[in-house]
Structures are given as C-alpha cells and as structure tokens.
A and B are shown apart, each in its own frame.
Chain A
Amino acid sequence: MLLDLKNISVSFHLRGSAVHAVRSISLSISQGETVGIVGESGSGKTVLSLSLLRLLPSPPAMIKGNALFDSFDLINCPDRDIRSIRGNRISMIFQDPLSSFNPYLRLSNQLIEPLLCHKNISRKEALEIAISMLSQTGITQPHKKIQCYPHQFSGGMLQRAMIAMALVTKPAILIADEPTTALDVTTQAQILSLMKTLQQQYSMSIIFITHNLGIVAGFCDRVHVMYAGIILESAETISLFKNTAHPYTKALIRSVPSLHSTVDKLYVIGGPPYDPSRPVKGCPFAPRCEFGIAECFEEKMELTEVAPNHFTCCSRIKKGEISL
C-alpha cells in the first residue's frame, strides 16, 4: 500500500451553514497502479484530490481523517512535511494547462523550480533534467522550446509541459485532475499514451480523476465511483463494467450515447440533482434511483465486497434483491 486513505471527510463552513463536499472516503493505492475516480460535478472528486495535498484553504475547509503515505499522515502532518512531499513525491496536474503556468515566466524557470526546491542540485543540472523530461513528453527541439513562454504553446503542448513539470522530480504518485477534458480526441489519445509510457518507465502510481467513463475503461486498473461525497462502488475496471454492482454506475453507463449504435432516446437519470448543503439520510442516490425503496434512506453507507475485489454500498445489491 503506497497511499492509504481512511475516512477522509471535507466540509466547508460558510456563514453558519456547512457544505459536506466529501463525506467519508476510504481507499488505497499500490505502487504502479492506475486508480480512476469517476464522478460528475458536485461529487467531490476534485475536493478530495486537493485535500490530499492540503491545497484547500483551511478555514473554510475542514479536513478530517488519515491519508497514510510512507510514514506521513498527509492530513495531519506538520506543514513542512507536506511541503516536502508536494511536487516531490506526490505531484498534481490539472485540467487547464494555461492557468497552471505563470504567464510571466519562461517554461525553463517553471520546470526547474520543483527540482531546485526539493533536490540539492545546481541550476545547470536541473535545466538538463528538465530538458530531458520535456523531450520524453514528445516535444521536439526541447532546448529551444523550454525557453518559450506559456502563451506560445498550444493546449496539447502545454499539457505535455505540465506533465513534464510534474514528473521532473520522479514522484511516486501523480494526481491527474481531468487532464484531458479540454483537449481534442486525438491529442487526448496522445497524452494518455504518454502518461502510460512514463508510468511504466518510472513505476509510478496515477490517480486519474474524470467524469468520462470511456477514458476510465481504457486507462485505469481500478475504479471508484463517487457520488455526493462518498464512494458508491469500487472495483477493478473490467469487473466494474461487466458486473456493475450499483444502480448509479449502471445509470451513468446508460446515459452516455454510444459510438457504435443508435437508440431512440437516451436514458436520463431522473430526480433532483444532489444538493450538498442538505443533510443526507442513508443512500444519497436513493431519491433518483429506479430501485430506490424506503429502506434505502435508513441504510448505513458501507462498502462491502460482493465479488472478488468488487465493493458496493447498495444494500439491495448486497442482499441480492436486485440485479443489474
């Protein structure tokens, strides 16, 4: 177990009311594994990823739980420990590459920054490492391109530069928050291919956060499906799609228009969208679930194994009352 999350919860307190973005998440990641966290907007997946590196402003955010990495507890360790981990042993890449770079600094300055901060090497050595990393991400003429400014690059190239910047310290874990959402399909394929190559080369673990089930199916080893701040289902990828064990996951899969066949009408998840400011009783998906019954509102949300390495918190599935 490289990273072990236990009962992480994140809530925001504003003007007397509390918003529970993440209610209670427990999961673990081993070395070299690609873990996907899937959810729509409002599910809490981005908040969860930001909380691991303590990137959320601490009032109003309140983070509880434990995130065990090596001998550190990322949530509760002192500030100087988390700073030594950020960008060094755990790196993060974001959705919009253009706003992830400082527009006033050349890429060279920004790419060597993590190295100068965490490793005891000279500027010259750091620059060489950065140039080599940039060429590994597929950018031609890296020694010239590294002297450019961010606005001179296109979206796809900047995303590669961001990956280079994140991997320049050879971290153990890469957190990728929707890194290809803003990119074209062809560029997306290239970036995903690149990430896979680098992952294999550096034996890195990747936490891949997305709302796109297609990417998760083709890229991740293990998937956790999030809704309303909790994990509803968690399984190995093939198992998740072949033997889906939660109505929400099934509903999501059905809502996506298919590339290879046509339907008359797309499946729509009914009911009101989740409101994070309201307290939740039992299963948060119950009001919208086609299998929801009164008991669903009383259930304790616990992930239980229903098949080898396949967990769900739907009590009706666990009891075998329904099948998907």
Chain B
Amino acid sequence: MNNGNLLEVKDLSVVYNDSSRKAKGNKAVNNVSFTLKKGETLGLVGESGCGKTTLGRTIIRLQKECSGHVLLNGIDLCSLSPSRLRPLRRQMQMIFQNPYSSLNPRMTVLEIIAEPFTGRYSRKEKIERVSKLMVQSGLDPEMMSKFPHEFSGGQRQRIAIARSIAADPMLIIADEPVSSLDVSVQAQILNVLKSLRDSLSLTMLFISHDLSVVRYISQRVAVMYRGSIVEIGKTEDLFKNPCHPYTKALLDVVPVIDPERKIYQFNSVQSSDPDLSENSGCPVFNRCSKRKDECRSEVLKLYPCAGEEDHYCACVDSYNK
C-alpha cells in the first residue's frame, strides 16, 4: 500500500502561533507534500523562517495543530488521539540543535540513554545495552555515570544521538544537529551519523541551513522557502543542475574555499525574512524575466524538471530548463 515509502507527507499546513502573523494569513508550513523511502536520507534545506524546523516538529507531532496528513508506514499520525499516538512515538525520534538544552541536566548519561527502555530490562542488561550504544556513537562507556554539563558540545550531541537510536526508531529527524558545533567537531558528528545510518539502515530527515553539510549526508534534497518546497530532487542532480532560481542563488552565495571567488559580488536574491520583503510567492519574482501571474501565488506547485528523473521545481518554467 505504501510502496516502500516509510513516510508520506500530504498537503501539510501549519499556521503561525502568534496572533500578528495569524492575522496576515501567513502559514509557517504551506501545503507541503513529499515522500521518504525506507533507508533514505532527505535533506531539508532553507534559511531561517522557511519553516523547516516547524515541518520537522509537525511530522514528529511535537507541533500538534496542523492540517493535512503525515503517514508513517501507512498510519496517519495527524488523525490519532494522544493516547493512540503515544506508543507510536518511539518509532520516530528527533535529534535537536542545541546540545545544551536537549539533555536533562539532572540525569546521568546512563539514565538519559536508557530512558527509552526503562522498565523493560534488568539493571545489568540496561548497562550493557547503553555501553553498546555509547560505543556506537563514539563515547567511552566508562563515562556513563557522568552528567551532561561535564561534556563538551560535540560529546553531548553524541549522547543525544545514542538516546535517539536507543528507542530503535524507524525514522530519525535531525534538526540542525551540527549547526552549533565547531568545524572539526561537526565533521566528527556527521561521520557518526553517516556510519550509524548506514549500519542501522535508518531513514533520516536531515534539516539544516548549511548546503554543504546537506550535500554530504543526504541522498535527496528539498529546498524550502517561506513554508513551501521550491525544489526537490536527488542530491547530485540538484547541486549540479539546480532548477529553481532561488536554489541557484543560494548556491551562489554560500561561501566556498575558493579565494578567486569574491563573495561580496553576489547580492541577488531578496531576503527570506518575511518582515523585510513584501511579496508573497516566488523569492526571485522581482528579477525574473519569465515571470507570470501564477508566480505571485501563495501556494507553490511543483513541476517536473525537464530531462531529469525525480527532480521537481516550483518554477513554472521548469519544463524549459
């Protein structure tokens, strides 16, 4: 029935919580649809305010109010009552951005990682399982009696990763897990995530604003802007042949280690900050020579990109690219 799709998101919309934005009718997540196959990693990329975090939190049902459908293995999570949802929650786990607030400061590492299976195993079994998980995440099991504040940011993130796989989930949503870490630590954590994903055949939704990180870890990428997906496709395709002008502009302005490329030459796309830019619809509307009336619409429809399989773009001109 679900043809190999672990996760199916259909017409998902989330309205803003605060009253001023609610009045304007703006949506944090605007009619988003995509699928995720088992074992696949989808990178969700976008700037602040694009709704990627809200989307992740809605899928995992931390954000309750929404319209649309989130199907995990065929079961629509949005239609379940809280008591029926609770046992299913273990199947999807989240890794959060801030390693300082995502761990309970009063619990030891052992207690934190063992929480998903409290009450099921004897203490000895628990310790064994937690040690294994710690080793898998690159931590020293001797440290399991320590408290979160005794670890560095990178190590805390490893604890968070160990906790998330302890629940034996089908889906992991990583919400900017390396954004607050140093470059060298970021590399370590990304390697851990990649190797765990491969060895445990995990399905992952990787949310980040960093295009290079997303490229490294994802097999498919979706680019979001103001609540809608503007482009989605296989990583190689999207990065080599970006279809939507917004994606192209993003790729232009990412600082790369190329001293010949002077970053301050690029000033092309309008800010994604909803307070600064006036128009709704396509982010490059003002500059586009091929713009049409549909481009101004709130809901961006995805069109297949010419000549490429499984590559969709919200630009009405995609057929011609």
A184 to B, closest residue via Cβ: B47
B66 at interface, CB cutoff 8 A:
no
A residues 23-38 in Cβ contact with B at 8 Å: none
A15 at interface, CB cutoff 8 A:
no
B273 at interface, CB cutoff 8 A:
yes
Bits for A209-233, please: 1 = Cβ < 8 Å to B, else 0.
0011111011100000000000000
B216 at interface, CB cutoff 8 A:
yes
Give CA–CA (A219, B267) in the complex, Å: 14
A residues 243-268 in Cβ contact with B at 8 Å: 251-253, 255-260, 262-263, 265-268
Tell which of A156, A211, A213, A259 touches B273, judged by Cβ atoms closer than 8 Å.
A156
B residues 204-231 in Cβ contact with A at 8 Å: 209, 211-213, 215-216
Tell which of A193, A197, A218 touches B259, judged by Cβ atoms closer than 8 Å.
A218
Q: Which residues from A are CB-within-8-Å of B211?
A: 185, 259
Are B264 and A241 in contact, with the CB atoms below 8 A? no
Q: A186-B47, A241-B259 are in contact. Are A259 and B194 (CB under 8 A)?
A: no
Q: A40-B182, A186-B250 are in contact. Are A262 and B216 (CB under 8 A)?
A: yes
B262 at interface, CB cutoff 8 A:
yes
B271 at interface, CB cutoff 8 A:
yes
Are A257 and B273 in contact, with the CB atoms below 8 A? no
Are B184 and A268 in contact, with the CB atoms below 8 A? yes
Are A156 and B271 in contact, with the CB atoms below 8 A? yes
CB distance from A174 to the nearest CB of B (A): 15
Query: Interface size for chain B: under 10, 10 to 19, 20 to 34, or 35 or more residues?
Result: 35 or more
CB distance from A160 to the nearest CB of B (A): 11
Tell which of A157, A197, A217 touches B255, judged by Cβ atoms closer than 8 Å.
A217
B251 at interface, CB cutoff 8 A:
yes
Are A40 and B259 in contact, with the CB atoms below 8 A? no
Tell which of B191, B254, B257, B276 touches A266, judged by Cβ atoms closer than 8 Å.
B191
B188 at interface, CB cutoff 8 A:
yes
A190 at interface, CB cutoff 8 A:
yes
Give CA–CA (A25, B181) in the complex, Å: 26
A140 to B, closest residue via Cβ: B276
A237 at interface, CB cutoff 8 A:
yes
Interchain residue pairs A-B with the least CB separation, the first 8: A214-B255, A218-B263, A189-B253, A184-B47, A193-B264, A257-B216, A266-B187, A257-B212
Known: A185-B47, A186-B250, A265-B194. 17 other contacts (CB 8 A): A190-B267, A192-B263, A193-B266, A214-B255, A215-B255, A218-B263, A218-B264, A238-B260, A241-B258, A256-B212, A257-B213, A258-B215, A258-B216, A259-B212, A265-B191, A268-B187, A269-B184
